[in-house]
Amino acid sequence: MSIKGQRVELRLDAPGERLDKALAQALPELSRMQWQRLIKEEQVLVNGRCFKPSQRLEDTADVVAHVPAAVESDLTPEAIPLDVRYEDGQIIVVNKPAGMVVHPGTGHESGTLVHALLAHCSDLAGIGNTKRPGIVHRLDKETSGLLVIAKNDHAQLYLQQQFKARTVGKQYLALATGHVQPPAALIDAPIGRNPMQRQKMSVIAPGTPRAASAQARPAQTHYQTLKQYSGPYGDYTLVECALHTGRTHQIRVHLAYIGYPVAGDRFYGRRKQKLPFEQIGAAPRHFLHAAALTLRRPSDGAEMTFRAELPPELQALLALLQ
């Protein structure tokens, strides 16, 4: 049961600990920062008195906290069909189709995954003080595949810690342009925003003048060849990519960097390249799919692996290339 909108009474037995930290450990549905805000707003009483967030507990303390209810989101829920692969009271895992944007933004005021989740999830406890899903990672508009979303603050923090610690397993299937050599390798090349084209990311060599302005961050992608294709539409390689980091456009940037861009990617790849999507009656897209996701479930810490098969249009495209 969520503590939001509740009067919470508890006994803290954490002598010497900061009040905000002790509360976050005892009631992890709210982050330490959220507890700090409530303490400063005098919504938390310790033995009948107001404390500062940094004040340390001297002994066992009786705490009463008034936790405000989450307010409704200003976004309009939209009943968009979702391919749900797993759901419990803490998280939901969906298989996002290509063409769907994850989060609302300029030019995408409706039809996003967030709009769909607001309609689908009746048990959103909310993130922060708003009833909305907690987006902890994203996929590009044209990229299909698995995403995990948090339903409350505790789940979001638990997932964010896993992503930060790089313990989340992420496997993608990508069709690279050309016959990739070597067949398997680790691409270890830092990625930052391209100083000349701010909409793009790029590999930034350490120590170069571009590196400081681009704020490059370490990025590692391991790829392994699954199958090669040759024919009238060109040469391609189906590769499985495992991400050790989670940089923006990482696979697309890394494969382009080694000379084998993702097929159909007109942003980082070859603009004149045209995959034969029209022959299978499908809309053009780049060939990148988040096929597997491994994480620990917030409710009990159990490790779970989710898988999503290639969508029909990508399966049909491979059959045509073969």
Catalytic residues: 140
292 CB neighbour count, 10 Å cutoff: 17
46/59 Cα distance (integer angstroms): 11
Would you say 161 and 175 are in contact if contact means Cβ atoms under 8 Å apart?
no
Which DSSP state fits 279? G
Would you say 220 and 244 are in contact if contact means Cβ atoms under 8 Å apart?
yes
User: Which of 307, 309, 317, 210 is CA-nearest to residue 262?
Assistant: 317
Query: What φ, ψ does residue 317 adopt, rounded to 5°?
Result: -65, -45
Look up tokens 């309609």; give the residue: 119
Using alpha carbons, list the distances in angstroms from residue 207 to 188, 219, 316: 15, 16, 45
Which pair of structure tokens corresponds to residue 189?
């090349």
> Within the chain, where are the H helices?
19-26, 32-40, 113-120, 153-165, 209-214, 250-257, 312-321
